[in-house]
């Protein structure tokens, strides 16, 4: 069988899945499709009809959505990165959905303002509102991490991977977690993982 193919450049949400595949440590082909014109080409649209990155092909499986890709990769190849019982598996799903529903939309408002909007057209109220809104999920995460190092069990798992991967964009806008020291400690530990460094080194 041919190697799994992972589509998408690291300077995008595809980083989440490149980090995931680097964590599981399998041999794979990286196809650096950008989120511009090449993600709208006919060939790529047969892989991800949404015209977005990342996407994965592994044997007969074609998959889009970064959280789903990481859940699949860790279940299939990740050993202890994937929860070993139904309760922990449900918790990993919970955190993955939480990341992209409770955190990402607010985070993206700030990212769009700070990274993609010319300075003279930025609206500080949007950044202020989203930053305030983020305090709610951050408080939740901080409380959960109060007496534990990782989101599930005693070691880094796909739950940490998916949530930290979603939150990774906050690093690019220097959004710190000063009031949420448990989040800061956990984020520092996640972002120190060699697999992330390898993922960031990809085009
Ligand atoms: N929910 C998707 C989001 C993917 C996504 O929006 N990717 C962006 C790059 S950061 C993209 O491909 N944008 C191209 C477009 O929207 O046309 C996931 O997590 O995989």
Domain end: 80, 104, 122, which one? 80
- pLDDT score for 203: 82
Query: Domain check: are 47 and 104 in the same one?
Result: no
Query: Domain check: are 22 and 102 in the same one?
Result: no
- pLDDT score for 165: 98
What would the pLDDT profile of 42-52 be if each residue is shown by its tens digit? 999 999 999 99
The answer, yes or no, to whether any atom of ligand 1 lies below 6 A from the CB of 12, is yes
The contacts found for 63-68 with CB under 8 angstroms, 24 or more apart, are 66/13, 66/14, 66/16, 66/17, 66/20, 66/162, 66/165, 67/16, 67/96, 67/97, 67/99, 67/100, 67/162
- pLDDT score for 172: 84
Low-confidence ranges of the chain (pLDDT < 50): none
- pLDDT score for 178: 86
The answer, yes or no, to whether any atom of ligand 1 lies below 6 A from the CB of 23, is no
CATH number of domain containing 164: 1.20.1050.10
- pLDDT score for 55: 98
Tell me whether residue 203 is in a domain. Answer: no
Domain count, the chain: 2
Q: Which domain holds residue 19?
A: 5-80
What would the pLDDT profile of 104-148 be if each residue is shown by its tens digit? 999 999 999 999 999 999 999 999 999 999 999 999 999 999 999
Continuous H helices in 117-203 = 124-144, 158-167, 169-172, 181-191, 194-200
The residue with tokens 């082909």 is 29
Instruction: Residue 171: name the closest of 196, 191, 194 by CA.
Output: 191
Average pLDDT of the chain, as a whole number: 96
The answer, yes or no, to whether any atom of ligand 1 lies below 6 A from the CB of 162, is no
The pTM for the full model equals 0.97
From the alpha carbon of 12, which atom of ligand 1 is closest? Answer: 10
């Amino acid at each position: 069988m041919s190697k799994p193919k992972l589509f998408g450049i690291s300077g995008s949400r595809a980083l989440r899945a490149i980090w995931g595949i680097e964590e599981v440590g399998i041999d794979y082909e990286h196809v650096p499709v950008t989120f511009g014109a090449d993600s709208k080409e006919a060939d790529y649209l047969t892989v991800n009809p949404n015209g977005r990155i990342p996407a994965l092909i592994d044997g007969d499986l074609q998959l889009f959505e970064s959280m789903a890709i990481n859940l699949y990769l860790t279940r299939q190849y990740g050993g202890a990165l994937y929860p070993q019982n139904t309760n922990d598996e449900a918790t990993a799903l919970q955190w993955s959905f939480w990341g992209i529903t409770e955190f990402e939309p607010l985070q993206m408002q700030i990212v769009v303002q700070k990274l993609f909007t010319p300075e003279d057209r930025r609206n500080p109220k949007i950044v202020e509102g989203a930053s305030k809104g983020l305090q709610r999920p951050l408080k939740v995460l901080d409380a959960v991490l109060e007496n534990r190092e990782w989101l599930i069990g005693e070691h880094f798992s796909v739950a940490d991977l998916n949530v930290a991967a979603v939150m990774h964009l906050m690093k690019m806008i220097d959004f710190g977690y000063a009031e949420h020291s448990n989040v800061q400690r956990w984020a520092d530990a996640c972002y120190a993982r060699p697999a992330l460094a390898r993922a960031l080194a990809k085009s």
